[in-house]
A = this chain, B = another copy of it.
């Protein structure tokens, strides 16, 4: 026997962004004179909202004085932040979440990755394709490579993952979607909740881009759908909402009504066991980051967050409309910071990536990096600086493709 968890060998080469970086660095070396504009990785560029800056300075000062110093915080996060989330993110939607159903973490990616610990190794997992690679890789690492069912998102199904005919134990959904930039309406999402309730399946709902929803009728939380509290876990993040990619803060909602029966008939609460997991393998999120997160829920904080989101969505509008105008086939970018661009003439994702890099000095993300159904697409991110986006679009206008 090998001492090593050999399931790691089953991981596909997942270094999508590393490969993008490698090619970009190579290109820059060969063309030091050209200005490379990145519409690739989904990282924010705008400084943090002023309310967060103030809150962090205050929190740092508290840690400098004996009387106000704080050490370990609750593993689940401070009540001040959990309450603010409940009151501001869910109550306005008519969704009743208790603060002991909200778990603060240092980022949604960790929760999305670690949540698989709660499930049996033989669980049957549904994963959309294209999707954020963490869903697949974290399950493969846990020994479920053979139990994964791919749910394609493509032309044939109108880019909406179809309700499967077979049983799934766990399914991932991400809306607004990364990488396609598309959303699900209430009816579509309701069908998934119905499926999950019927099949006793858990929906892992990644809602990291919720702040980018602008149109009516698009659910802001899966818990807006009746019955979802019995079948869903929702992951959220301050990364894209408030520019926290370097500050690190996210949260996960695990409803208390989400229970199962064990083989011997005991009731299993995922809330109880996620709490147990976090209290064992996690020791709480930085106090400073939690104060920064709570600050966005003031009136002024909401205004500043909205300003950031609006700026990125203005980028999205520009990218989407420019591409459309010049005859490209684009999806998304209306209620999400990503545009899903079909490569012209059926080119491969990496080929088109290389072409845009070489001819326009624009970096995108090859769709095939998100899964097989992403082949023939590239993802464009709207998180760049407006002036860079504008310049990139000018290059596209003049492109003799």
Complex interface: stretch among A70-78, A218-226, A323-331, A391-399: A70-78
Residues of B within 8 A of A48 (CB): 63-64, 69
| Interchain CB contact (< 8 A) of A3 among B8, B200, B283 | B200
Mostly, the A contact residues are loop
Residues of B within 8 A of A246 (CB): 63, 69-73, 284, 286-287
Task: Convert A35-72 into 0s and 1s, putting 1 for each residue whose CB lies closer than 8 angstroms to a CB of B.
Answer: 00000010111111010010011001101111001111
Cβ of A166 to closest chain B Cβ, rounded Å: 15
Task: Convert A63-104 into 0s and 1s, putting 1 for each residue whose CB lies closer than 8 angstroms to a CB of B.
Answer: 111100111110000000000000000000000000000000
A8 touches B73 (CB 8 A): no
Residue A297 at the B interface, CB < 8 A?
no
Whether A114 contacts B288 in the complex (CB less than 8 A), given A5-B120, A63-B48, A268-B2, comes out as no
Cβ of A127 to closest chain B Cβ, rounded Å: 14
Residue A123 at the B interface, CB < 8 A?
yes
Cβ of A111 to closest chain B Cβ, rounded Å: 9
A247 touches B288 (CB 8 A): yes
Size of the A side of the interface (Cβ < 8 Å), in residues, is 84
Residue A245 at the B interface, CB < 8 A?
yes
Complex interface: stretch among A157-165, A258-266, A357-365: A258-266
Cβ of A134 to closest chain B Cβ, rounded Å: 6
Residues of B within 8 A of A120 (CB): 1-6
Residues of B within 8 A of A45 (CB): 66, 69, 71
Residue A298 at the B interface, CB < 8 A?
no
Interface set, chain A 223-271, CB cutoff 8 A to B: 243, 245-248, 260-263, 266, 268, 270
Cβ of A257 to closest chain B Cβ, rounded Å: 15
Nearest CB in chain B to that of A290: its residue? B246
Cβ of A240 to closest chain B Cβ, rounded Å: 10
Complex interface: stretch among A180-188, A274-282, A344-352, A370-378: A274-282
Residues of B within 8 A of A276 (CB): 8, 11
Nearest CB in chain B to that of A122: its residue? B1
Whether A14 contacts B280 in the complex (CB less than 8 A), given A53-B60, A69-B47, A71-B44, comes out as yes
Residues of B within 8 A of A279 (CB): 15
Residues of B within 8 A of A56 (CB): 56, 60, 63, 288
B262 touches A4 (CB 8 A): yes
16 contacts between A and B (CB under 8 A): A3-B119, A3-B202, A4-B268, A14-B280, A45-B71, A53-B63, A53-B64, A56-B288, A57-B60, A60-B288, A106-B248, A106-B286, A107-B283, A134-B281, A138-B280, A286-B286
B69 touches A117 (CB 8 A): no
Distance, CA A353 to CA B266, complexed state (A): 34
Distance, CA A119 to CA B4, complexed state (A): 4
* Among A2, A66, A247: residue with most chain B CB under 10 A: A2
